[in-house]
Structure 1
Amino acid sequence: MYAANISKSREPMLEKCGIMSRTAKEDISSIDEEIYRTFTTQYDKLIPPIGNVKIVDTTCRDGEQMPGVSFTIGEKVEIARKLGAIGIEQMETFATYNDSDRQSARLIAKEGLDISLMGWARPVSEDIEDSISNDIDAIAISIATSDIHLKYKLRMTREEMMGKMADAIKLAKSKGVYVCFNAEDGTRTDLDDLIAFVKTGKQAGADRFRLCDTIGVLTPSTTKFLVDEIMKAVDIDLELHAHNDFGISLANAVAALEVGAKYPDRTIWISTTVNNLGERAGNVPLEAFLMILKRHYGIKKYRTEKIFPLCKFVEQASMIKIPPNYPVVGENIFRHKSGIHQDGVLKNPLTYEVFTPEEIGTTRTIALGKHSGRAAIKFKLDELGIQCTDEEIEVLRHLVTRISEDRKSPLTDDEFAHIVLRVKTRGSGAVPPFRSYE
Structure 2
Amino acid sequence: MRQMVMVSDQTINEALRLGTSMAAIELMIPILKKYGIANFDVSLDYLPSDGVPKQLLLHPLLRCKIHSSLDEIAKVRQMGFSKVILSWFHQPSQSSLDQLTEALTAAQEFAQEIYLCIENAEELTIPELTSYWSLLSRYRVKRFIYQDVRSSLEPLGVCRKLESLQQTVPCPIEFHGHNTYGLATANSLAALRSGVQYVAAAVSGIGSPNHAAMEEVLMAVKHLWKQDQVPSGSSLTADCIEILSYMGISLPVDKALIGRDVFAHESGIHVDGITKNPLLYEVIQPEEVGQTRQLIIGKHSGTASLKIKFLQWNLELDQAETLELLEKVRRLASVQKRPLSDLELHQLYWRRNQMDQSQLG
Shorter chain as denominator, the TM-score bin is 0.7 to 0.9
1:218 is the counterpart of 2:167: no
How big is the shift at 1:196? 1.2
How big is the shift at 1:95? 5.6
More off after superposition, 408-417 vs 268-277:
408-417
More off after superposition, 246-255 vs 322-331:
322-331
Task: Name the counterpart of 2:308.
Answer: 379
- The 1:56/1:424 distance shift into structure 2, 3 A limit, reads same
1:406 is the counterpart of 2:351: no
Q: Is the 8 A contact 2:147 2:175 kept in 1?
A: yes
Q: Distance in 2 between matches of 1:283 and 1:356?
A: 24
1:72 is the counterpart of 2:21: yes
Q: Is the 8 A contact 2:136 2:170 kept in 1?
A: no
SS at match of 1:288: helix
* AA aligned opposite 2:350: L
* AA aligned opposite 1:344: G
How big is the shift at 1:427? 7.5
How big is the shift at 1:374? 2.8
TM-score, normalised by the number of residues in structure 2: 0.87
SS at match of 2:37: coil
How big is the shift at 1:378? 2.9
RMSD: 2.9
Residue pairs, 1:25-104, within 5 angstroms: 53-61=5-13, 69-94=18-43, 98-99=47-48, 102-103=51-52
Task: Name the counterpart of 2:231.
Answer: 303
Residues 40-77 of structure 1: CA distance to partner in whole angstroms, max 9, x if unpaired?
Answer: xxxxxxxxx96663211111225765xxx442223322
TM-score, normalised by the number of residues in structure 1: 0.73
1:144 is the counterpart of 2:89: yes
Residue pairs, 1:6-405, within 5 angstroms: 53-61=5-13, 69-94=18-43, 98-99=47-48, 102-103=51-52, 106-108=54-56, 116-128=61-73, 130-131=75-76, 138-146=83-91, 158-260=93-195, 268-280=197-209, 282-303=210-231, 305-386=234-315, 388-405=317-334
Residues 188-246 of structure 1: CA distance to partner in whole angstroms, max 9, x if unpaired?
Answer: 23443322124313321110000111011111222123323322232210011111122
- The 1:198/1:81 distance shift into structure 2, 3 A limit, reads same
* AA aligned opposite 1:53: V
* AA aligned opposite 1:61: N
- Higher normalized contact order (CA 8 Å, seq sep 6+, divided by chain length): 1
Q: Is the 8 A contact 1:169 1:201 kept in 2?
A: no
Q: How many residues align?
A: 357
Q: Is the 8 A contact 2:83 2:112 kept in 1?
A: yes
Q: Distance in 2 between matches of 1:225 and 1:62?
A: 30
* AA aligned opposite 1:177: Q
Q: Is the 8 A contact 1:85 1:306 kept in 2?
A: no
SS at match of 2:222: helix
Unmatched 5+ residue regions in structure 1? Answer: 1-48, 148-157, 261-266, 430-438
Overall identity of the aligned pairs, in %: 23
Residues 340-399 of structure 1: CA distance to partner in whole angstroms, max 9, x if unpaired?
Answer: 221233344333211221211122211111122233323333444556554333222122
How big is the shift at 1:126? 4.8
Q: Distance in 2 between matches of 1:401 and 1:132?
A: 66
SS at match of 1:401: helix
SS at match of 2:11: coil
- The 1:413/1:129 distance shift into structure 2, 3 A limit, reads farther
